[in-house]
Structure 1
């Protein structure tokens, strides 16, 4: 699972090769020579582009209004992914999250201008997806693995994070903290991930929640684990926290109130069979977040007065 991609070049030959940088990857090597001044100018331009790309991807997180619609880490059904991406685009989402597959990435960017995130637990797989146009990568969305009895330890997640950072040092990186850990351990892992340079922490918990009520009470019960994680982690780290798993239009605003910078929604949208219904659900969640943002702004202004 933890395979890596590397390229080694003898130091004696590197000086005559032109380094170039994919704006989303890092250093690569070309066989064409170039002058040192051109190399420095190219490096400066690339750093500026990388900075602008990451700033754009994280903008909605910093404004605490991010809405990421998730098609599923192991969902390779092109028709369903296309429907989810279209619903995210037309419904008012800020990001889309799809399986880590270059062809799916190309499909997604043909349908939307929203930032495309890819999810995987294989760092090496991210490289091709980023080359295809993904601007954000996510280590997480573990739900499908829990169904197979597979869980991830803090050590495994830290190792996956380090390998991803080595392969893609400049790409926006989000990492999910597993709900299988106790809340104190979730907070500890989040703090360690922040030190590793992770840009966003994602929480989860929908799979471990078994609501005893129906209706609105049931929706709130289902969201409780991820809301608790978002509350605890957002007070321990300075990077944005995305509350995900088990959320709906009812509970998404609660995530923002709890301290999250945004929400991630998967099954509430991707399990619907009708594209119109998908768009309506995304719109409902987006509207609920907008209302939450307005209320938060009013409260902050009141406190200042």
Structure 2
């Protein structure tokens, strides 16, 4: 990064295994004002770009585990439990509803990267200002329950608008399972062209396996595994496999070509935070993820 664009003062030098996000976040202005001097804007853009690189690091290393509380889940107690479980269980990211107050709650509980999900691009800036470092167009499950689906055109327009508003923030976009597999691949390719950083797959929340036990778990995950396999071979950006995954099938997602997995109802539907932590840890162990301290910058130090 050119020092003529961004020269921090003083330098931030991180110790081995130290999470850089709190230091970077503390350097960001509380409010991004586009009417200020160009130097201030350049500094903000540079800081956001550096944050983006760190947020995407686990995806590029094919070891990301994102725990999802739910796009329309505004229950503070449940969200707090999910965030705590992600933090203590060994996840690399946590995904919550696009609500600034929930973002502030999450960032008070963890230093993991906080992603917010929405289907309204205009909702993202306030959440980013509150501390979110990644945005997700997707996690459509709650809309399917209401009989609503999303067309490729709608998702492409949402992606373009989000990139226009937040060009330097990490962007993940979910490809709906309601599309045929060839259409999912086509949409993923278009999303990559529009600047998406991650493609997330899904497989249908309400799939009903005909088998019990391990065979049922594999059957339930088959649609999202198939999407991850096909899409990962069509795009160059990381693919996150989500929906219907477990400790049995999460490793299969990585083998299929995914760079990470997203887990929602397997964790957020549990009634006890201890059980949530145990479930996250089980999935993290299945992916051979280490403890949280080892998840971030294990190679010495980072100079910004």
TM range (shorter): 0.7 to 0.9
Are the structure 2 counterparts of residues 283 and 193 from structure 1 closer, same or farther at C-alpha, using a change threshold of 3 Å?
A: same
Q: Take 2:52 and 2:30, find their aligned partners in 1: how far apart are those partners?
A: 9
Please list every run of 5 or more consecutive structure 1 residues that lacks an aligned counterpart in the other structure.
Answer: 1-21, 292-305
Task: Indicate yes or no: 2:148 matched with 1:142.
Answer: no
- Alignment size in residue pairs: 263
Deviations 1:152-195 (A, max 9, x none): 00000001111111111111000000000000000000000000
Change (3 A) 1:213 1:144: same
CA distance in 1, matches of 2:214, 2:31: 44
In the other structure, the counterpart of 1:4 is none
Could you state the TM-score of these two structures normalised by the residue count of structure 2? 0.83
Q: How does 1:45-60 map to 2 (within 5 A)?
A: 45-60=43-58
Out of 125, 129, 151, the position equivalent to 1:153 is: 151
Check 1:25–1:65 CA distance in 2 against 1; reply closer, same or farther (3 A cut): farther
| One of 83, 93, 96 as aligned partner of 2:94 | 96
Q: Matched residues in 1 for 2:185 and 2:265: separation?
A: 25
In the alignment, the residues of structure 1 paired with residue 200 and residue 30 of structure 2 have an alpha-carbon distance, to the nearest angstrom, of 21
1:28-60 deviation line (CA, Å, top 9, x unaligned): 114xxx6xxxx34x4553343222101100000
| Equivalent residue, structure 1, for 2:64 | 66
Among 26, 34, 38, which residue is 1:28 paired with? 34
1:98-113 pair list within 5 angstroms = 98-113=96-111
- Written as runs of structure 1 = structure 2, the 5 A alignment for 1:1-305 is 28-30=34-36, 39-40=38-39, 42-207=40-205, 209-290=207-288
Which structure has the larger Rg over C-alpha atoms? Answer: 1
Of structures 1 and 2, the one with the larger relative CO (CA 8 A, separation 6+) is 2
Write out per-residue CA displacement over residues 185-216 of structure 1, whole angstroms, 9 at most, x where no aligned residue: 00000000000000000000132522001111
Q: What stretches of structure 2 of length at least 5 have no aligned partner? A: 1-27, 290-304
CA shift at 1:25, angstroms? 8.7
- Aligned-pair Cα RMSD in Å: 1.7
Q: Distance in 2 between matches of 1:25 and 1:178?
A: 33
CA displacement, residues 196-243 of structure 1 (integer Å, 9 cap, x when unaligned) = 000000000132522001111110000000000000000000000000
Per residue, is there more helix in 1 or in 2? 1
